[in-house]
Amino acid sequence: MNGQDFISAMSAVGAGLAMIAGIGPGIGQGYAAGQAAAAVGRNPGAKSDITSTMLLGQAVAETTGLYGFAVAIILMFLKPFN
């Protein structure tokens, strides 16, 4: 195995590790949606405020997963260390 093969292999491992970043936003968004549903159940009149706040929070939380995905794509296809 030469240096280029090792770099390609480690890029694939790094891309896989970067995709672990999608676990946190998935758990957080599911929790937020559950809490929003419970809040709407308690106070149906505040549905629009609860929904807009929940969607804004989920959009912010999703950026972590998107950054991990971008890093994985860069490592797999652009191979910055070659």
| Domain residue ranges in the chain | 3-78
State residue 3's pLDDT score.
84
Tell me how far apart the alpha carbons of residues 45 and 62 are, in angstroms, rounded to a whole number: 27
Residues 6+ apart with CB under 8 A from 19: 68, 69, 72
What values do phi and psi take at 11, rounded to 5? Answer: -65, -40
State residue 5's pLDDT score.
86
What average pLDDT does this structure show over 38-49? 94
**First vs last C-alpha separation in the chain:** 15
Q: The whole model's pTM is what?
A: 0.73
Residues 6+ apart with CB under 8 A from 28: 58, 61
Fold of 3-78: F1FO ATP Synthase (1.20.20)
Confidence tier at 82 by pLDDT (50, 70, 90): low
What average pLDDT does this structure show over 9-35? 90
What mean pLDDT, rounded, does the chain reach? 89
Residues 6+ apart with CB under 8 A from 68: 18, 19, 20, 21, 22
